[in-house]
Structure 1
């Protein structure tokens, strides 16, 4: 929205990919900042194959492991996925039953999928 507001006369093109899946991709480095050892995490969210949201930001705390930094990135991306799903529901976009979040860290995926850790 910020881009559209700051660039009148321009826009974003969304193509019909034949589906309306919501999928998020997330990644984080671990202690990547040499000055304070904080991690940087990022995500991107696609709706129907079109990029609609993205973010990269240094995390607020120093993660003790790569799994922790990836898990924090997943938590941030999950909030965005839920917000987008609710927004699309309010806009009567259609019924969206599932969302998918992709992460490349097996330990973080295990933590996220195990109810003992919640």
Structure 2
């Protein structure tokens, strides 16, 4: 950073205190001949009984070790379970892009394509099909960037959930 502020120093000291207080703790990543990145995502449509917003659960694994997970309420209301799942896919895609940027800085190579597992066949079809649909018009602007990423889409049965 070319102009660090006092707030940056505060954050750096907090990180150092955390690292000092937790020696031996960390993420164990097993070396494999071909590194792999895989993501699992699920959404619970209209879960919140007060706002009717959906909930997203996701996790990302590097060589089988969990490196990122998130469980959050979606920001917008979804009209269908497929839309809620597609929004969850967009969320995990953003997480994957961020992780890939970090791994690129660490000189990790050959992580593409990323395996993405989702339990909604409708959401996967929306993601892989570039044809315009009247029902998905409102998804066009903020979510269709997932089509541009190098992902392998896989259906995951709901009973085998990771998230």
- The verdict on a shared fold, with TM-score over 0.5 as the criterion, is yes
Q: Which protein has the larger Cα radius of gyration, Structure 1 or Structure 2?
A: 2
Cα distance in 1 for residues equivalent to 2:83 and 2:118: 12
Can you list the C-alpha shifts for 1:54-95, whole angstroms capped at 9, x where unaligned? 000000111100000000000000011111112111101223
Cα distance in 2 for residues equivalent to 1:92 and 1:15: 15
Equivalent residue of 2:47, what SS?
A: coil
Q: How does 1:98-109 map to 2 (within 5 A)?
A: 98-109=113-124
Structure 1 window deviating more from structure 2 (7-16 vs 38-47): it is 7-16
Matched with 1:60 is 75
Maintained 8 Å contact 1:29/1:41: yes
Residue of 86, 90, 97 corresponding to 1:75: 90
- Superposed structure 1 runs of 4+ greater than 6 Å apart: none
TM-score, length-scaled by structure 1:
0.88
Q: How does 1:1-118 map to 2 (within 5 A)?
A: 5=18, 7-16=21-30, 18=32, 19-117=34-132, 118=144
Query: What stretches of structure 2 of length at least 5 have no aligned partner?
Result: 1-14, 133-143, 145-163
Equivalent residue of 1:115, what SS?
A: coil
The structure whose residues are more often helix, as a share, is 2
Query: What stretches of structure 1 of length at least 5 have no aligned partner?
Result: none
Equivalent residue of 1:67, what SS?
A: helix
Give RMSD over aligned pairs.
Answer: 1.9
Cα deviation for residue 9 of structure 1 reads 2.4
TM-score, length-scaled by structure 2:
0.65
Cα deviation for residue 97 of structure 1 reads 2.4
